[in-house]
Structure 1
Amino acid sequence: MRLLEKLHSVLEQQLSDYISSPIIKRGWSYYKNGQVQNVQATVHSTLTGVVKGSELYAVVIDAEHLRYSNCTCLYDGLCKHIVALYLQYCSEHKGGPEGAEQCYFRLLGLSPARNLVKAEDGTERTESLMPPNESDTLEDWLTWMEAEHGETWKKCRHSLHPLQPLLSSLKGLAKDWQKPLQRLHWATVIIFVMEQAERAILTVDSFSRYYHEMSFIRMAEPWVEHCNTLVSDLEPTEMSQQELDWSDGLVVHIKGRALLTEKQLFDWSILYLSFCEKLSVNREWYERELSRLLLELQLPKDESRNVSFIHIAAGKMYFFDHKDDQSIEHFVLGSFERSQKIIYPCVAKRIEEGKWDIALKWMSFLNERISNNRNARNIGPFMSLCRKADEARPDLPIWTAYMTDMLPYSYIELSEHWLNAKRYEEWADLQLFIGVKPEEINAPELREVAKVAPHTLVPIYHQSIESAIGTRNRQGYRMAAKQLKKLEKLYKASKETEKWEGYLIELVAKYQRLRALQEELWKGKVVT
C-alpha cells in the first residue's frame, strides 16, 4: 500500500517545516547506513516501521496529522528515526535511492516540497523559462535562476568545475546593462553559484568532507574575491531606487544564510558586513538595517538561529556609526572565535585615526579574550596591533605589557619589533629570558646588534657558555671555546678588555678540574 500523492506532499512539507536541519541530516545518515529495518503504509494514512539505533525503535508517522507521530526512543519530539523511516519509504516507493536523495534535499529546503505534486493531467513537464530583463527585480532573477539552474549542484560530486560555465553564462545575460545595475546582477549570480556549492558539499560523505571543502573553497576563491570587489565598487549615494531595492534584497538574502547555525562552506557574515559597510553611508538604510538586527535579538531563542552572528553584526554596525562602547558591548556577547577577524580591522582603524582612548578600550577587550585562549592564530594579529600602537605611541607602556604577557607565544613578533625599534637592551633581555643561544639567532640580526650595541650581547654569551660547559662533554667544551672567542671580541668592541681578562681568569679557575675543557680552551687559543 502507498500514500496518496497529495497526502505524501503534505507530509513532506510538514516534515520540512517542523524538523530542524541537524535532525534531518542525522536521519539521512541512519537511512544511508541501512538502519531502517522495514517500513509500510497502512489504511489509516500512516507509515509504520522499525529503525535500529542503540536498540530497536518502533516508529509511527501520521501523514495527515504529523503531531500524532511518535517513536519509542527517548527524544522528546520529531526525531531522526522518523526522518530515516520516511526516507526509506521514499526509496521504496518514490524512485529508489535517487528519489530518497531528492526528498532529503527538499526537506533541507534546497528545493520546494510543493514541486512534488504532479500536473493535473498526471504528466511531469519541464519548461525552459525566458530570463528576466534589466527592469525586473532581484526576486524575479533569483526565482528564475532557481527554476532553471537550481539543480546544477548535482553535477559537483568531486569539484565545482560544472559551476564555472554557469557563472559565465549567467553573468553574460547582463553584459549590455548599465554598469551600476550590472554590478548588482553579477553579485547576485556569484551568490547563487556559491549557494549551489553549499548544496553540493552536503552530498559529500563525512570521511572525505574536509578534502572536498578545501578543494571547493580554493575553486571558489576568485568568485568570492570578485563579489567583494563588486561590493566595494557600489556607489550608494548615487543609486536609483531600483538599485537600492536590489541591494537591500541582497543584504536580506545573505543575512538569511549567515543566520543559519549549521556548518557552512563560506563565511556569509563577512559578505553581509561588506555590503553593510558600503551601504551604511545611506543614513536611512543604516538605521533600517540596525533596527532589523536589534529586532532579531528580541525574538524568542531558537537553536536554528545564529544569535552570535546578530550580535557581531550589530557590533560592526555601531562601529560604522562611531559608537564604540555599544559596539564592544555586542562583540562581548558574540563568539570571539568568529568575530576576531572582524574586530582586528576595527581596532587598526581607531589606531590609525589616533583615537587612543577608544583604541585602549578595544585593546583591553582583545587582551582579555586572547589571554583566556592563547594560540598562534589569536596572538599573531593581536601582536601586530600592539606593534602598530607602540610605534605610534611608545610613551604608553601598556603595549609592552600586553606583548610580554603573551610570552612565550609572542617571542618572534616581540623580538622582531624591538630589533626594528632599535631597543637593543630589551631585545637582549628577551633572548636571555627565553634562553636563546647565539647560534640560534639570525646571523644578520646578530651582526647588527654586535656592531651597534655589543655590550647587550655579553650576557647572552655568558649564559650560552655556561650552558655549553654544563653538558660535560667534549663537544660542549668545544662550543664553549668558540663562544669565548666571540665574547672576547664583544668585550673589546665595548672597550672593556679588563673585564674580559677578569672574567676569563674566574672561568678558568672555576672549571680547573675539567681537564677536557682546559684542553679545548688551549686548542682554541682562548688561553695560552
Structure 2
Amino acid sequence: MGVSALESTHASEQMEHFEEQVRELLIPTDAEDAKLVQKGLMLYRQGVVKQLQIFNDKITSMVQDVTRVYVKLDLVFASMSSCTCPTEGFCRHQMATFFAAFSKFGSVGDWVTAWREPAREQKEVADWGMQTAKDLIKANGILKPDYSRWVHSFEVSFDTLLASKKFTSPYVIPELYGIYERRIHASAPVEQEWRLLYEMVAMVVSFRKLAMLSEQLGHDEDMVKRAYLHLFHNLMDDAEDLAVKIGVQSLPFAFDEFIERLKNDAFDLLRCCSGLEYERIYLYRLLWVQFFKKKDWREEELTKIQAGLKALQDWENPLPLMVAGVHLNILVGNDEAAVRLMGQFTDEEITPYMLFWIEYLTTLKAWRRVAVLIELFLQKVKGYLTALGGYHSCVTFARNALKALTTFCAENDRVDLYERGLLVMLPYSFGEYEYLLFERKQYERWGELQAFVGLDFYDLPKDRLKVIEKEQPEVLLGMLHQTAQREIDQKNRSSYKMAVRHLKKLRTLYKKLKRVDDWEYFLETLMERTKRLRAFHEECRRSKLVDV
C-alpha cells in the first residue's frame, strides 16, 4: 500500500499498539536489548530497509544487510513477528523495519530517547540506592545468601519487567517472563547447594507473583489457558525436579532458616488470588511433602489453616485452604480427620486432588491407608467425570487414575479393586478394560463390553476377532445380531448390503457351532418381520442368503 494507507487512522492505531509491545519486549537496562536497538537504528539510518508495506495487520520489508533478508512484523502480536535471518527472537532487521514504519508517524529519535529513560525503572533504581533491578539480582551471586534480599530482588525484577507496563495483552507475558527467568538463572549463587535453594525460592515467589498479576490484569481462566498456563505448569514440573535434586544432597545447617522462611511464604500460595486453584494447591502440597517435614511444622500449619478458614470473608473461596487441611492431616497421619474434611466437598471439587494422596501413600507402602482412599475415590469418581465433561479430558483423567491404582492393586493382589475402577470409569476406561478382559480370555465379558459402548462388529479389531472366532465363536453372535439389526434400521440400500454381509457371517458361525436350526429359525423370523422392506429382501436374494 502507499503512504496514505500507512497514515490512515487505522494504521496509526495499529502502529501505536505495536509500538507499545516493542517497549514491553525490550528492556533498556539489558545490555543485549540496548545493542539490538542501536543496531536496528543504524540499519534504518543507512536506508537499507526497502519495499516497506502494510496489509492485513502485517508490515513487510526487505532489508539489504550483509545478506538480503525479509521481515514480517505482526502488528497484533509482536512476538509472532519473523525474519529470514538465523537470529532467534526480535532481531536488528525487525527493529530497523519498525523504525522505518514508525517514522511515518513520529520521530524515531524521540522514541529511542524515551525508551532509554523509563520513569518506573528510574524510581526503582533510586529506591534501591541507584542500583538497577538487574544489578541487584546479579549481586545475589556475589553477596552472602540472604533470604529477604533474594525475595525482594525477585519481586523488584518481576515488577520491573511484567507488572509496571501499560500493555496488558496476555500473549506478551510468556516473552516478558522468559526475560525475567533468564535473569534469575544468570544471577544465582555459584555454590551448587545454595544455587538449588535459590532457584526453589525463586520458583515459589515467581509463581505467586505471576498468579497475582493474572488476577490484577483481569485475565479469565480461558485467556490464561490459551496464553500462558504453560508457565505455571513449567514451574510445577521444575519444582518437582528441583526437589529431587535437593533431596539427594545433605543440606547445610544454614539452610534451616531459609526453609522455614520458605514455609511461611508457601502459605501465601493458598490465598494470593482466586483463580489457578489446582496449580497453586499442587505446588503447595509438593513443598510440604519434600521440604517441610518436621512434625511440629506440620501441626503448626494445620492450626494456621484452621485460623485462616475462620477468618475467610464470604466472598473468598475456601477450597484451597480446605484441600491444604486434608493434605496436612494426611501428612501427620490423621486420616480420619482428612476423610471427614473430604466429606465437606462435592465429588467435582475433591476428586482431582485425591490421586496425589493415593500416589503419596503408595510410595510409603502404607497399604491400609491407601485402601481407604481408593475406596473413597471410587465412590466419587463417576460424579467427577460427569461434571468434568469433554471426552478427551475424561479419558486422560481415567488413565491417570488407573495408573495411580495399579501399584496398590498389584502389590496387594487386588485385581478386583482395579476392575471396579475400570467399571466405574466406563466408557472412559474402555481401552484398558478391553485389554484386561481379552488378556484374561474372558471373551464373553469382552463381548458384553463392546456392546455396552455401542461398537459395531466391523469396528472391532480384526486380530481380536480371529482369536475369539477360533476359541469362543458364540461370543460374536450377539454382536453380529446387533450390528445387522442396526444396519437394517437405517432403511437404505447401502445399509442393507452391510446387513447382509453380517448375516452371512452369522450363518457361518451358526454352522460352525452346529446350530443350523437356530439359524434357520432366526432367518425365517427376520424375513417375516421385515417383509415390508422390499429392498432388503432383494439384497438377501441377490446375495443368496435366502432362496430366490
TM-score (norm 1): 0.64
Of 478, 486, 499, the match for 2:497: 478
Of 449, 455, 460, the match for 2:468: 449
- Does structure 1 residue 159 correspond to structure 2 residue 161? no
The worse-fitting range, judged by mean Cα deviation, of 503-512 and 155-164 is 503-512
- Does structure 1 residue 197 correspond to structure 2 residue 210? yes
Is the contact between residue 294 and residue 314 of structure 1 (CA under 8 Å) also seen in structure 2? no
Gaps of 5+ in 2: 1-119
Q: Which residue of 1 aligns with 2:509?
A: 490
Is the contact between residue 508 and residue 518 of structure 1 (CA under 8 Å) also seen in structure 2? yes
Residue pairs, 1:41-80, within 5 angstroms: none
Q: Deviations over 1:463-484 (max 9, x none)?
A: 2223333344433322221101
Is the contact between residue 204 and residue 212 of structure 1 (CA under 8 Å) also seen in structure 2? no
Q: Which residue of 2 aligns with 1:518?
A: 537
- Does structure 1 residue 423 correspond to structure 2 residue 442? yes
Aligned residue identity for 2:381: I
The worse-fitting range, judged by mean Cα deviation, of 418-427 and 126-135 is 126-135
Is the contact between residue 236 and residue 279 of structure 1 (CA under 8 Å) also seen in structure 2? no
- 1:234 counterpart SS class: helix
Paired residues in the alignment total 406
Aligned residue identity for 1:144: S
- Does structure 1 residue 180 correspond to structure 2 residue 193? yes
- Does structure 1 residue 297 correspond to structure 2 residue 298? no
Residue pairs, 1:23-172, within 5 angstroms: 126-128=130-132, 130=136, 131-132=139-140, 133=142, 135-147=144-156, 150-153=159-162, 154-155=164-165, 157=168, 158-172=172-186
Is the contact between residue 258 and residue 306 of structure 1 (CA under 8 Å) also seen in structure 2? no
The worse-fitting range, judged by mean Cα deviation, of 268-277 and 388-397 is 388-397
Are the structure 2 counterparts of residues 387 and 476 from structure 1 closer, same or farther at C-alpha, using a change threshold of 3 Å?
farther
Is the contact between residue 443 and residue 472 of structure 2 (CA under 8 Å) also seen in structure 1? yes
Is the contact between residue 255 and residue 268 of structure 1 (CA under 8 Å) also seen in structure 2? no
Aligned residue identity for 2:322: H
**Cα distance in 1, alignment partners of residues 349 and 146 from structure 2:** 33
**Cα distance in 1, alignment partners of residues 346 and 256 from structure 2:** 31
Of 335, 342, 347, the match for 1:324: 335
**Cα distance in 1, alignment partners of residues 426 and 188 from structure 2:** 55
The worse-fitting range, judged by mean Cα deviation, of 385-394 and 335-344 is 385-394
**Cα distance in 1, alignment partners of residues 277 and 360 from structure 2:** 29
Gaps of 5+ in 1: 1-104, 106-114
TM-score (norm 2): 0.62
Q: Deviations over 1:334-378 (max 9, x none)?
A: 576554343113324656877665444223322333344424556
**Cα distance in 1, alignment partners of residues 363 and 334 from structure 2:** 17
**Cα distance in 2, alignment partners of residues 221 and 433 from structure 1:** 37
What is the deviation of 1:459?
0.9
Of 360, 365, 372, the match for 2:376: 365
Is the contact between residue 390 and residue 400 of structure 1 (CA under 8 Å) also seen in structure 2? no
**Cα distance in 2, alignment partners of residues 235 and 402 from structure 1:** 34
Q: Which residue of 1 aligns with 2:355?
A: 344
The worse-fitting range, judged by mean Cα deviation, of 164-173 and 389-398 is 389-398
Aligned residue identity for 2:290: K
Are the structure 2 counterparts of residues 407 and 489 from structure 1 closer, same or farther at C-alpha, using a change threshold of 3 Å?
same
Is the contact between residue 189 and residue 198 of structure 2 (CA under 8 Å) also seen in structure 1? no
The worse-fitting range, judged by mean Cα deviation, of 407-416 and 516-525 is 407-416
What is the deviation of 1:271?
1.4
- 2:174 counterpart SS class: coil
Are the structure 2 counterparts of residues 418 and 346 from structure 1 closer, same or farther at C-alpha, using a change threshold of 3 Å?
farther
Is the contact between residue 311 and residue 333 of structure 1 (CA under 8 Å) also seen in structure 2? no
- Does structure 1 residue 230 correspond to structure 2 residue 242? yes
What is the deviation of 1:297?
0.2
Q: Which residue of 2 aligns with 1:40?
A: none
The worse-fitting range, judged by mean Cα deviation, of 429-438 and 268-277 is 429-438
**Cα distance in 1, alignment partners of residues 129 and 193 from structure 2:** 37
Identity percentage of aligned residues:
15
- 1:162 counterpart SS class: helix
**Cα distance in 2, alignment partners of residues 391 and 505 from structure 1:** 51
Of 448, 452, 466, the match for 2:485: 466
Is the contact between residue 260 and residue 306 of structure 1 (CA under 8 Å) also seen in structure 2? no
- 2:254 counterpart SS class: helix
- 2:484 counterpart SS class: helix
Are the structure 2 counterparts of residues 218 and 126 from structure 1 closer, same or farther at C-alpha, using a change threshold of 3 Å?
same
The worse-fitting range, judged by mean Cα deviation, of 486-495 and 515-524 is 486-495
Are the structure 2 counterparts of residues 401 and 483 from structure 1 closer, same or farther at C-alpha, using a change threshold of 3 Å?
same
Is the contact between residue 366 and residue 382 of structure 1 (CA under 8 Å) also seen in structure 2? no
Aligned residue identity for 1:277: V
Q: Which residue of 2 aligns with 1:16?
A: none
- 2:494 counterpart SS class: helix
**Cα distance in 2, alignment partners of residues 471 and 169 from structure 1:** 65
